[in-house]
Amino acid sequence: MAKVLFRAFLIFLACTALSAVVYYIFDAMSYITGMPSLRRAWVLILPVYGLFFAYLFFYLGPELYQATRTAALRPLNGSYYEYLTWRITVLEDESHCRWISTELVRKIVGQLASDQALATIFPSGHQYFGKDKKNGHLRDDALVEHLSNATTPQAIKFKNWAQRNIAYPANKTRERLGIKLAAPTSYPDD
């Protein structure tokens, strides 16, 4: 975008210089001949500025659109996923654990243990997020471990997708940063 703005600035300077030259030439000619011919100078100057604005429209417009789109989507980067027709919002904490809503997993898989049962099975792999603390979320490794016992085709497909797109990248990030997590079945104090 900086290159396009720099080019636009250079073209604007060139247009201004060319316009000044044309204006002074016609002004000198009108002084020599004694006839007012400033209108003719503007007829030659305006198309030059028209080319400048066309450049801005065709080159700077798409650059501004892309920059605006990038700025608008930056908060969603890395937290929005899509599985088949379901939109999945994935939360990521400071230890690079990814958390998926149990309510959404129930919609996709069909059957999933209740939040109370998941909190008992996975003490450090299940948390409640939100203001009302009603929305249970499973950590990425707890989700994959829980769905590894699944027998329905939909649950197996979702487990494979979650393992490939959510759990594996999070695990690689934690390994790269040297973050050690407690097992999802252990208590957070352990």
List the Cα angle 152/182/172 in 5-degree steps.
70
**pLDDT tens-place string over residues 126-159:** 888 777 677 788 888 889 988 888 888 888 999 9
Residue 127 has a CB neighbour count (10 Å cut-off) of 20
**Confidence check: pLDDT of 25 > 80:** no
Q: Check residues 19 and 62 and name the one with the higher pLDDT.
A: 62
Output helix, strand, coil percentages for the chain, rounded to the nearest 5: 65, 15, 25
| CA dihedral sign of residues 188, 148, 152, 105 | positive
Q: Check residues 5 and 87 and name the one with the higher pLDDT.
A: 87
C-alpha–C-alpha distance, residues 52 and 13, integer Å: 10
**Confidence check: pLDDT of 37 > 60:** no
C-alpha–C-alpha distance, residues 170 and 140, integer Å: 8
Mean pLDDT of the chain: 79
The DSSP string of 119-157 is HHH-TTTEEEESSSS-EEEEEHHHHHHHHTT--SHHHHH
| Per-residue model confidence (pLDDT) at position 160 | 92
**What value does the mean pLDDT take over residues 41-57?**
72
The DSSP string of 55-103 is HIIIIIHHHHHHHHHHHHHGGGTTTEEEETTEEEEEEE-TT--EEEEHH
> Using an 8 Å Cβ cutoff, are 137 and 179 in contact?
no
**pLDDT tens-place string over residues 89-122:** 888 888 888 888 888 888 888 888 888 888 888 8
| Per-residue model confidence (pLDDT) at position 32 | 63
| Per-residue model confidence (pLDDT) at position 55 | 75
